[in-house]
Structure 1
């Protein structure tokens, strides 16, 4: 007798048959195998969590359905409010950064203007200082009668 003839099989509503094996003396537990009932196979495997929900009739007047819908509606409202709040926070931050940027650009202009004025003052002072100071060699020999150049 073959191994498959010793196994029991039962088909469920999804066209999948679960094969249950007889326990072996080795003490190892066997995992049930999913085998398509139709010979051509086909169809996608459906996770166990969605198997019962796919073809089951939903009673829209039941308390459980109403509670699930209410919880879902509250979750959707909460999600939308959170998204709206995040967008408002982002917009507020953008406006703050724009104001700070304008303030910093005005400060840059002011400091650039101040630097230009200070450069001009420095150059004017350096030019005046250069005009008042005569070269050491020419002034000393012409003004000093005791110099060795005579």
Structure 2
């Protein structure tokens, strides 16, 4: 297949089309992955996978050192996050215990106040004279007794 000069885009062996900037000022288009999943690989990730490095090269050693530092940093961060979570759990447990103790205290106080209120209400009911209907009955009973004794 031949392509005219200046045209960006070519048919690849796997049937996928990619655009190449060949002096035409076009940006690189993400290339579809060969698996056919429809996911595009961003241009920054394309070409990153190269042949494995030889173990004795400086570049290999530098990459290993950077990777080891990144792993150490990640593990420290993970450990710190676990410690922070554990500390937060302990704080919440202590707060929960304090709140439960406060609930018990307030429940006890409510019970005492209820008892006092009911006792006071009962005493008031005993000391209050009944309304006028009871008073009329008493005066009528007294009148009847007076009349019977005559």
Fold similarity call, TM over 0.5: yes
Within 2, Cα distance between the matches of 1:98 and 1:58?
A: 52
Per the alignment, residue 29 of structure 1 pairs with 7
1:65 Cα deviation (Å)? Answer: 0.7
In the TM superposition, what are the counterparts of 1:135-150 in structure 2 within 5 Å? 135-137=130-132, 138-139=134-135, 142=139
Per the alignment, residue 120 of structure 1 pairs with 115
Within 2, Cα distance between the matches of 1:72 and 1:125?
A: 78
Does residue 77 in structure 1 map to residue 72 in structure 2? yes
1:50 Cα deviation (Å)? Answer: 4.7
Question: 26, 34, 45: which is aligned to 2:34?
Answer: 45
Per the alignment, residue 22 of structure 2 pairs with none
In the TM superposition, what are the counterparts of 1:93-104 in structure 2 within 5 Å? 93-104=88-99
In the TM superposition, what are the counterparts of 1:49-68 in structure 2 within 5 Å? 49-50=47-48, 53=50, 56-68=51-63
1:123-142 CA deviation, whole Å, 9 max, x = no partner? 00000000001113234763
Task: Compute the RMSD of aligned alpha carbons.
Answer: 2.7
Greater RCO (Cα-Cα under 8 Å, separation 6 or more): 1
Within 2, Cα distance between the matches of 1:30 and 1:91?
A: 57
Per the alignment, residue 39 of structure 1 pairs with none
- TM, length-normalised to structure 2: 0.66
Per the alignment, residue 19 of structure 2 pairs with none
1:52-90 CA deviation, whole Å, 9 max, x = no partner? x2xx35221111110100000000000000001001100
Runs of 4+ in 1 over 6 A off after TM superposition: none
1:32 Cα deviation (Å)? Answer: 1.9
